């Protein structure tokens, strides 16, 4: 999802480019964002149940950490639940921007740090809930990174971890410029088996796994041929895909079609895991 993001102009084969991540969508515009609508149908951002994702409730008494927070959609949801929130990202400008937005929420407290998380700038056993979405595929040593997340969680802490799914990444491998799979972008691909093994070997117990994001898999497959960045107005091909998917979601069988396609070509895979008590 994480989703969560910078601007990117797709290069020709001879050009260098910055990290391959889309620009932020303002929080106030999310109700009209097709990707956000799709994510909510996958169980994300449930204001009624208070779950960031199904199986990951956020309570007002929690202290929540988001490592690699990007534009802060996940931690913003937690802040709106009244939790104490901490955020970390390697991009100091992102951290400052998200922090300013969170100070306007009902969060009990807001803490922000610019860090590469190697190590995390926190003492052991501080956090009740820990989030890291779409980060592990970028880091040099995923096991070391994840062990840091485990270190700062309290006994019994709940973790929400997400990485791109290997099925979608295989498609992007055929279509994206090579720089998409070079540092600082995606330097490894996780299969469901390797992702689960990593989580378990770092000492966490898996409670739930899920996949989602067919819409985003196809969006990115189309994106590479557009030779256009993601600033408004988007390329007509991308606008057409967003319109088609929104119409499909509104059809009688839209949710069933989405569920089947999410299982076939998911963009992301998620593990919810717990640190032993």
Q: Where are the domains of the chain?
A: 27-274
Predicted local distance difference test score (pLDDT) of residue 32? 61
Length of the chain: 277
What residues are paired with 110 via a beta bridge?
85
Pairing of strands 205-212, 153-164: unpaired
- Residue 24's CB is within 10 A of a number of other CB atoms, namely 18
Tokens describing residue 210: 């899920």
Hunting for tokens 């091909």 — which residue is that?
Answer: 237
Cβ count within 10 A of residue 264: 11
Does domain 27-274 fall into CATH 3.40.50.150? yes
pLDDT value at residue 25: 42
The predicted model scores a pTM of 0.88
Instruction: Note the pLDDT tens digit of each residue in 266-277.
Output: 999 999 999 999
pLDDT at 232: 84
- DSSP run (H or E) holding 99: helix 92-102
Task: Please say whether the beta carbons of 201 and 142 come within 8 A.
Answer: no
Environment class of 186 (CB within 10 Å of its CB; exposed 0-12, middle 13-18, buried 19+)? buried
In the predicted model, residues of the chain with pLDDT beneath 70 are 1-32
């Amino acid at each position: 999802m994480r989703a969560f993001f910078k601007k990117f102009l797709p290069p020709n084969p001879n050009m260098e480019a910055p990290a391959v991540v889309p620009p932020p969508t303002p929080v106030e515009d999310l109700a009209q964002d097709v990707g956000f609508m799709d994510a909510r149908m996958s169980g994300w951002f449930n204001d009624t149940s208070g779950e960031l994702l199904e199986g990951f409730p956020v309570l007002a008494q929690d202290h929540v950490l988001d490592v690699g927070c990007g534009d802060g959609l996940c931690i913003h949801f937690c802040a709106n639940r009244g939790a104490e929130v901490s955020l970390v990202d390697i991009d100091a400008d992102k951290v400052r921007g998200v922090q300013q937005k969170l100070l306007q929420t009902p969060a009990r407290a807001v803490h922000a740090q610019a860090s590469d998380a190697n190590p995390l700038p926190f003492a052991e056993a501080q956090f009740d809930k820990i989030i890291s979405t779409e980060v592990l595929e970028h880091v040099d040593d995923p096991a070391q990174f994840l062990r840091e997340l485990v270190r700062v969680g309290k006994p019994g802490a709940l973790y929400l971890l997400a990485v791109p799914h290997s099925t979608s990444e295989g498609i992007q491998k055929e279509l994206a410029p090579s720089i998409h799979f070079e540092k600082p972008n995606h330097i490894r691909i996780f299969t469901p088996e390797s992702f689960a093994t990593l989580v378990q070997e770092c000492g966490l117990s898996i409670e739930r796994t899920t996949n989602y994001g067919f819409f985003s898999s196809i969006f990115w497959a189309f994106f590479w041929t557009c030779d256009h960045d993601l600033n408004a107005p988007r390329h007509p091909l991308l606008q057409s895909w967003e319109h088609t998917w929104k119409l499909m979601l509104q059809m009688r069988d839209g949710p069933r079609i989405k569920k089947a396609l999410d299982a076939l070509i998911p963009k992301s895979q998620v593990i919810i895991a717990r640190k032993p008590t």
